[in-house]
Structure 1
Amino acid sequence: MAPDLSSHVHAATDVAPKSPSKPKQDEINPATATDAIDDVEAAGGSSPPGDGVNYVARAQWLRAAVLGANDGLVTVASLMIGVGAVNEARSAMLATGLAGLVSGACSMAIGEFVSVYAQYDIEVAQIERAHDDDDDEAKKDNLPSPTMAAGASALAFAAGAALPLLAGGFVRAWAGRVAAVCVATTVGLAGFGVLGAYLGGASVARSGARVLLGGWLAMATTYGVLRLFGMQSA
């Protein structure tokens, strides 16, 4: 081969573009790859597979519903048991339970209405200070309704209060009446605790036990105080 031809061949070989080599599998940093996947998922707002429930948003209405029902249940049951400690008449316990249901539902409705309206006024003032006329009406439409909150709170309280009232209000014997109220209240407390925990994605056992112990403590305290008061009055 001629010297000139040989030199041209080697030069052409040296300047030929090389194809980019693929990185070897062991050169990829697993931590970097994992971080990149996490960043993509966070940017896309994706949730873990099989769990697309927004428990934080659900907690807003769940808290009001469970609180209202649990409050009605404990309040009326404690009132009926407390009155039963000093008065064994069935009419006295029934009237007490009914008065507790009505007054408690009204109190819950008024309290919720005032509370939510205060929040409504604060958020409206904040929207108006932002001076965004295009989105003002849309933002105001998404604000909580004080009337709906008051109605939901009153209904939740009444639903919880009706359980001990219906369970023990019409039992003739005093011991059976008190026992019926205690049993119905226990079942209701456990049910509300478990339901709230299930819907909120929390521990069912801990929530049920916490609500149950709190209700028992309220009923025992009311019974003990009124029993002591009745003995001293006699």
Structure 2
Amino acid sequence: MSEHHSHKSQRSGWLRAAVLGANDGIVSTASLIIGVSAADSSREAILLAGVAGLVAGALSMAAGEYVSVSSQADVEQADLALERRSLKHNREWETQELASIYRQRGLEPKLADEVARQLMDHDALEAHARDEIGITDVSRAQPLVAALSSAAMFTIGAGVPLLVTALVPLSQIIVAVSAVCLLLLVMLGVAAAIAGGASPWRGGLRVLVWGALAMGLSAVVGRLFGVVV
């Protein structure tokens, strides 16, 4: 009986965006709230700072992802345009180039030539995009999707410390926000590691350490200077 198994690498794109957005939302907003709270501010000022951080952070994430992924998309389109021209004017040379790639991957020369010709006849541009350039439907850049997903995950993550701030007594905001957000960060790191097939302990510890460091430094700044800088 054959054993079925699924690969994790196909999840890397959406997993990276989801984890990065949620992690940034939690850490940045929680750190902002803790810093303002440490400066002995009112609940209204703390919530205002948190909401402002959420809006600015979500828009910044969206803009950053859109610009970054758009640049990747531009490079992909330029490569595909170059390949399309070469296929039009140098088809036989492109066929041999494709066969050479398959020989390097372990196919016998005759089989590599046959595979290259069949794939060229089926969809030459797709074959070269996949095997020469490394562009597939799964990895293809999608700027708008990346921007919206990052902004959405940031908003969800940032909503947690804001909700805690609104519900707990003013004197307990720092402790409550820190505890809830650090626990959530660990859960997020563990879940991401499991989804990616990595060590859950390493994933959880990684986000715990950096999250605690960010929140701790924000509290120190707020306590020393009375403002968040």
The two structures share one fold, judged by TM-score above 0.5: yes
Gaps of 5+ in 1: 1-47
Deviation, structure 1 residue 61:
1.4
Please state if 1:222 is matched with 2:218.
yes
Alignment-derived partner of residue 8 in structure 2: 55
Deviation, structure 1 residue 98:
0.7
Question: What is the alpha-carbon distance in structure 1 between the residues aligned to residue 223 and residue 197 of structure 2?
Answer: 40
Secondary structure of 2:226's counterpart equals: helix
Deviation per CA, 1:121-153, whole angstroms, max 9, x where unpaired? 001000010124766599699332111110000
Identity %: 45
Secondary structure of 2:44's counterpart equals: helix
Kindly indicate whether structure 1 or structure 2 has the higher relative contact order, using CA contacts under 8 Å at least 6 residues apart. 2
Deviation, structure 1 residue 88:
3.0
* TM-align CA RMSD: 2.2
Alignment-derived partner of residue 72 in structure 1: 25
Q: How many residues align?
A: 182
Deviation per CA, 1:141-179, whole angstroms, max 9, x where unpaired? 9332111110000001011111111012343x3222222
Question: What is the alpha-carbon distance in structure 2 between the residues aligned to residue 58 and residue 230 of structure 1?
Answer: 43
Please state if 1:161 is matched with 2:180.
no
Q: Which runs of 4+ in 1 moved over 6 A?
A: 137-141
Gaps of 5+ in 2: 89-122, 130-134
> 1:217 and 1:141, CA in 2 relative to 1: closer, same or farther beyond 3 A?
closer
Deviation per CA, 1:16-71, whole angstroms, max 9, x where unpaired? xxxxxxxxxxxxxxxxxxxxxxxxxxxxxxxx935x22212211211111011001
Secondary structure of 1:88's counterpart equals: coil
Match of 2:186 among 180, 187, 190: 190
Q: TM-score scaled to structure 1, two decimals?
A: 0.72
Larger radius of gyration: 1
Secondary structure of 1:169's counterpart equals: helix
Question: What is the alpha-carbon distance in structure 2 between the residues aligned to residue 178 and residue 227 of structure 1?
Answer: 12
Secondary structure of 1:53's counterpart equals: coil
Match of 1:203 among 199, 205, 221: 199
